[in-house]
Amino acid sequence: MSDAGRNTPIAEAFEAQRDHLRAVAHRMLGSHADAEDAVQEAWLRLSRQDPATIDNLAGWLTTVVGRISLDVLRSRRARPEAPYDDRLPDLVVTLDDAPAPEDDAVLADSVALALVVVLDSLGPSERLAFVLHDLFAVPFDEIGKILGKSTAAAKMLASRARRKVQATERPSGAGREQREVVGAFLAAARRGEFEELLRVLDPEVRLTVDTPAGVVVTLGATKVAAGARSATDAAMRGRAVLVNGLPGVVSWREDGSPLSVIAFTVVEGRIAEIMALVDPAKLALLDLPEPA
Query: How far is the C-alpha of 16 from the C-alpha of 62, rounded, in Å?
Result: 13
Kindly list the domain boundaries of the chain, sorted by start residue.
3-78, 82-121+170-292
- Per-residue pLDDT of 267-287, as tens digits, reads 888 999 898 889 998 888 887
- In this prediction, residue 112 carries a pLDDT of 46
Q: pLDDT tier at 117 (50, 70, 90 boundaries)?
A: low
- Per-residue pLDDT of 91-111, as tens digits, reads 667 776 544 433 444 444 444
Dihedral of CA atoms 122, 126, 132, 135 in degrees, nearest 10, equals -50
pTM, two decimals, is 0.53
Instruction: Give yes or no for residue 79 having a pLDDT over 90.
Output: no
- In this prediction, residue 214 carries a pLDDT of 85
CATH of the structural domain 82-121+170-292, one choice from 3.10.450.50, 3.90.550.10, 3.40.50.740, 3.30.1330.80: 3.10.450.50
- In this prediction, residue 75 carries a pLDDT of 85
| CATH class, range 3-78 | mainly alpha
- Per-residue pLDDT of 222-280, as tens digits, reads 999 988 765 556 555 678 888 877 788 888 888 888 888 988 988 888 999 898 889 99
- Per-residue pLDDT of 189-216, as tens digits, reads 888 888 999 999 999 999 988 889 888 8
